Amino acid sequence: MSASSDNLTPALDAAFWEGRYQEGTARWDLGQPAPPFVSLLESADAPTPGKMLALGIGRGHDALLFAAHGFEVTGVDFAPSAIADTAEAANRRNLLINLLASDIFALPAAYTGQFDYVMEHTCFCAIDPVRRSEYVQVVRSLLRPGGEFIGLFWAHDRPGGPPYGSTPEEIRQLFAADFHVDSLEKATNSVPNRADAEYLARFPLRASASDA
């Protein structure tokens, strides 16, 4: 997970998330790729492999799933244990993945406009909700013209956080100015504790946004 700022609650800094790994309390970690992503990549409508930036990858289960399906994946997280665990898993499975230890809000300028896809799972719900519009701008900036955002949102309605809740309506509203937001569907095969609360998004970048 990745979310930090001098203006945010200290609990959202890199040290906090690293502490969760060290304490063995990374409860967002499923220990496997998200089933909706597995189904997507096995479907007739699977995205064509391309260059992908994966945000807040955790232990890399989803990022490595896409890598195994032929995507050129760059995974970002600012918790050192997340990067180390992903690197170990990639080596064990003989998969190629580029890894960067970084806050998603401080990515290298060289990443601008370099990716066919940006992938999201449990990063959006980890950041302070006041930064969600900024998050969308980060996603937009990373994509090439014609690029696509692929996200699995945990849209629970519990108070507080992290993980912070959201609604499908909020997600569409946040992305609508820069993306086509028609494809946001409730996942049908989520893990039990997220059943009926996950939404799979496939949002193509608007041509006007890529030209902006």
Residue 16 has pLDDT above 60, yes or no: yes
Average pLDDT over every residue of 41-70: 97
Instruction: Return the bridge partners of 154, or none.
Output: 198
What is the value of pTM for the model shown? 0.89
pLDDT band at 25 (very low <50, low <70, confident <90, very high): low
Percentage of the chain beyond pLDDT 90 is 70
What is the radius of gyration, based on Cα positions, of the chain?
Answer: 16
Higher per-residue confidence, 82 vs 113: 113
CA dist 155 and 21 (Å) reads 23
Higher per-residue confidence, 6 vs 60: 60
Residue 30 has pLDDT above 90, yes or no: no
Per-residue pLDDT tens over the stretch 167-198: 999 999 999 999 999 999 999 998 777 777 89
Yes or no: say if 99 and 84 are a contact pair by the CB < 8 Å rule. no
- Going along the chain from its start, the domains and CATH numbers come out as 10-211 (3.40.50.150)
Structure tokens at 125: 């719900």
pLDDT at 131: 95
pLDDT at 8: 44
Question: Among 198, 112, 110, which residue's Cα sits nearest to residue 147?
Answer: 112
Burial class (CB within 10 angstroms; exposed 0-12, middle 13-18, buried 19+) of 57: buried
Strand arrangement of the beta sheet that strand 115-121 belongs to: 98-101, 72-77, 51-55, 115-121, 143-154, 198-204, 184-186
pLDDT band at 208 (very low <50, low <70, confident <90, very high): confident
Higher per-residue confidence, 112 vs 194: 112
Q: What angle do CA 179, 182, 183 make, to 5 degrees?
A: 100
pLDDT at 114: 98
CA dist 181 and 186 (Å) reads 14
CA dist 212 and 23 (Å) reads 44
Yes or no: say if 16 and 82 are a contact pair by the CB < 8 Å rule. no
Question: Among 156, 173, 174, which residue's Cα sits nearest to residue 165?
Answer: 156
